[in-house]
Structure 1
Amino acid sequence: MPLPDNGAAWPPPEWAPYYAEMRVDDAWYSGDRSRIARACGEQYPMPTRRGPWNRRREQPPGRPPNRLHVPLPSDIAATSADLLFGDMPAIRVEDTATQERLDALLDEAQVQQVLHAGAEQGSALSGVFLRATWDRNLIDRPILSVVQPDNVAPEFRWGMLRAATLWRDLPGSTASTVFRHVERHEPGRILHALYEGTPDNIGRAVPLSEHPETADLVDSLGEDGVSVETG
């Protein structure tokens, strides 16, 4: 799909069942009992406590029984990441000068830590996306980051990823108004857009300059005013 049309349902409805499952998985991975209860459609149980003089405070009627969460999901995800990226994988190219430059970048960018973190999140959430980006005001090298799959709408052809639309909710959003930065990666270019909408609708596209989180992108855009050409 191209950048979302104004007024489109959001997140993309075709991916809604997957995102819903990921929210449940993410709650179990977090180990937060209130999040787990909400994800499972239950009211969060109040823990039974001991009061003064060790008298037992009874749980209010109608509450579900107390439960003890054993953090197996996060332990399994962490162990999986340790098995995959406990050591830095060997990344090799044929050209000597390119290899030296690549080794320096991999070390400086702490790629092993990024891969390890991505592997742990991917184990819990069914996968992650690795994104290469840059910010020359911060550092003069590419930056590798991890994007969780419930903020990505991927597109596949013959079982291979051909494009991906990423988004993030920006500061200043409220319960009724959501500002979203939408970033579409496709062969040869990255498209950027800013939308003002609601929790379930993308709303309307507004200039990137209207939000401080996206204003700096304006100078990097090409003649079309939307995309960064990557070649």
Structure 2
Amino acid sequence: MPLPEKNTIWPPIHPAIRSDMEDWAAWFSANPDRLAYRYLNRHRDNSRFGPPANRPSTYRGGWVGRVARWFWGEPTPLGEKRANLHMPLARDIARTSSDLMYSEPPTLKVTTKATQARLEDLMDLGMKRTLIASGETGSALGGSYLRIVWDDEISDRPWISVVHADGAAPEFAHGDRLRAVTFWTVIESDGQRIVRHLERHEPGVILHAVYEGNELNLGKVRDLAEFRQTENLLPHRDLKIGKRLAVSYVPNTMVAPDWRDIPGAAGLGTSDYQGAEPFLSAIDETYTSWMRDIRLARSRIIVPSSFLVNQGPGMGAAWEDREVYAPMNVPPTSDQQITLNQFAIRHEEHRATIEELVGKVIRNAGYSGGTFGDDSSGPAVTATEIKARNARSMSTRARKTELGATGIADIAEVLLMLEASGMFPGVRGVEVERPDVVFQDSVQDDIKTLAETAALMKQAEAASVETMVALLHPDWDQRDQQAEVDRILKQSGRLVEDPLLLGADRPQFGDDGDGREDESDAETDDEDADAAQ
């Protein structure tokens, strides 16, 4: 389908999906102001524009008030400052998810030397950080898009950028196959007037248009040349990539349990926060209660007002340290002349509650608690012990890398198709080939430990050269490992070439350089054959 017509309702996304993504985006931002604004305005279709809504139900008690607000939706009483604290656990989960996948970037492997060099340049010139950003936003919003872009003023070659899931309207075929997608970017906004740039990807085609409307409506179509951000874009661009898209989608999960009944939402995936939002809110509420205990537990010395020393007209009165005393109208004949008062700080109860809630959020995201712990001060452990402690995190990482490998291979192959099509004159020698995406092992033993293990195995004659090379280089494929074995054997003099296999490289019968076949040549060949036997 083409770009939308004027005065189209926007965005064309199911309200439940839009609402969930806005919730996750607020948690991902780690901004208390944004969280408070979001949960005060959750009934609105779009929470980024317009003043906060005044809902009387949030001030009511009982079940009505509890349903109308969460912790971050509670209004601050008039005349008081907000004391709510926020623990950025949601952002930490997104960052950790990305680190597990892309802290050691994957390797793109092809057979053609020039194409391999191009893919390595692509990774070194920006795709590594693109994948890190894709991993973070995908964890938070349920997925991310990898899009091919090019700009002659910046580079003579295309590159790959990331688009967040809450800025796209996808169309899936057969559940999880991306058939088309429309991205939008807000170019200008003054609160009422909103100018959007729409970029639609269809098989072999990219479409661009600019609309001027309001918060919920695209409005009228404007000329691309009227805005600096779009003046160099063509409304319609045909690409020589067949039925492929110049964009791929990397879902965070293959199943979105809460959206199964929504048409077209099966392939979106879901956030690591899905289902854990009440616990994230409870963590912040517990931290706020903990800090409130600390504020209220300040030491106080209650003394009669008559004990205070008059400082003079207009200067007040004091009794020793003004920071700790509290004057009270205590009768002089009272037995309680000076009273020490300090409330207890329930730190153990708060700490245990927070640890329990944090554990539930982490498990809900599919990770082990040790993945988020600080074990730097403990004794050194091996990679096997680390993997055993973080088995849940490792299985989640393996599942996500399977989804990421497909999306990365798709977009890299299309980029090679564009470069081989002649669109970029400066590109030469690149051939179209689908790369193998190899993710590195996120937890490895140091090379010293591995070398000592290999030396002990060699001393005990308990392992072959092939086994020791595989132990030292587990991230290499079988072909690279075998090449390393051959080099080791050749350098040590243990690589004995089979003379029978060298017959094709030796002079053939009758070929002694004189161009004639004679008896001496035949006798020499017979002697060589007998020696070989």
Q: Same fold (TM over 0.5)?
A: yes
Give the match's secondary structure for 2:85. coil
Q: CA deviation at 1:28?
A: 0.9
Larger radius of gyration: 2
Q: Give 2:179's match in structure 1, choosing from 159, 162, 178.
A: 162
Gaps of 5+ in 1: 46-58
2: CA distance between counterparts of 1:43 and 1:115?
37
Asked if 1:135 corresponds to 2:151, the answer is yes
Task: Work out the CA distance in 2 between the residues paired with 1:9 and 1:201.
Answer: 5
Q: Deviations over 1:95-120 (max 9, x none)?
A: 22211122122212x21111011101
Q: CA deviation at 1:153?
A: 0.3
State the one-letter code of the partner of 2:165. P
Partner of 2:16: 17
Which of 74, 82, 88 in structure 2 is aligned with 1:71?
A: 88
How large is the RMSD of aligned CA atoms in angstroms?
1.8
CA deviations over 1:117-152 (Å, ceiling 9, x no partner): 110111111111111100111111213211111110
CA shift digits 1:17-40 (9 cap, x unpaired)? 212211111111111111111212
Q: Which residue of structure 1 lines up, in the alignment, with residue 236 of structure 2?
A: 227
Runs of 4+ in 1 over 3 A off after TM superposition: 63-66
Separation in structure 2 between the aligned mates of residue 197 and residue 163 of structure 1, nearest angstrom:
24
> Residues of 2 paired with 1:15 and 1:170: CA distance?
24
CA contact (8 A) 1:15 1:153 kept: no
Show the counterpart of 1:53: none
**How far has the Cα of 1:64 moved from its partner?**
9.9
Amino acid at match of 1:76: I
1:65 offset after TM fit, Å? 7.5
What is the aligned partner in structure 1 of residue 99 from structure 2?
Answer: 82
- Gaps spanning 5+ residues in structure 2: where? 41-72, 241-533
Q: Distance in 1 between the 2:216 and 2:169 partners? A: 15
Question: Which of 123, 129, 134 is equivalent to 1:106?
Answer: 123
- Distance in 2 separating the partners of 1:144 and 1:44: 43
Deviations 1:153-202 (A, max 9, x none): 0000012001110000003x221111111000111010000111111001
- 1:40-76 superposed Cα distances (whole Å, 9 cap, x missing partner): 222564xxxxxxxxxxxxx747x79733211100111
Which residue of the partner structure matches residue 39 of structure 1?
38
Please name the residue that 1:206 is paired with.
222
Partner secondary structure for residue 135 of structure 1: coil
In the alignment, does 2:199 pair up with 1:179? no
Aligned to 1:26: 25
Q: Tell me the TM-score normalized by structure 2.
A: 0.37
**Aligned CA distance change for structure 1 residues 137 and 88 (closer, same or farther; 3 Å):** same
The whole-number CA distance in structure 1 between the counterparts of 2:199 and 2:75 is: 36
State the match for 1:145 in structure 2: 161
Q: How many residues align?
A: 207
Q: Report the counterpart of residue 7 of structure 1 in structure 2.
A: 7
Partner Cα separation in structure 1 for residue 224 and residue 74 of structure 2: 40
Q: Judge conservation of contact 1:33–1:44 (CA < 8 Å) in 2.
A: no
- In the superposition, relative to structure 1, how do residues 127 and 44 fare at CA in structure 2: closer, same or farther (>3 Å)? farther
The one-letter amino acid paired with 2:127 is: V
Distance in 1 between residues matched to 2:132 and 2:82, nearest whole Å: 37
Q: Corresponding residue for 1:50?
A: none
Q: Distance in 1 between matches of 2:173 and 2:81?
A: 47
For 1:189, the equivalent position in structure 2 comes to: 205
- 2:112 counterpart (95, 100, 105): 95
Greater RCO between the two (CA within 8 Å, min separation 6)? 1
Give the Cα separation in 1 of the matches to 2:103 and 2:75. Answer: 36
Query: What is the rounded CA distance, in whole Å, between the counterparts of 2:228 and 2:74 in structure 1?
Result: 38
Inter-CA distance 97–204: structure 2 relative to 1 (3 Å threshold): same
Query: Is the CA contact (8 Å cut-off) linking 2:122 and 2:159 kept in structure 1?
Result: no
Distance change >3 Å, CA 65–CA 101, structure 1 → 2: closer
Q: Whose helix fraction is larger, Structure 1's or Structure 2's?
A: 2
Contact 2:144 2:164 in 1 (8 A): yes
Letter in 1 for 2:21: M
| CA distance in structure 2 between the partners assigned to 1:11 and 1:64 by the alignment | 36
What is the rounded CA distance, in whole Å, between the counterparts of 1:150 and 1:196 in structure 2?
Answer: 20
Q: Which amino acid in 2 is paired with 1:71?
A: P
TM-score when normalising by structure 1: 0.84
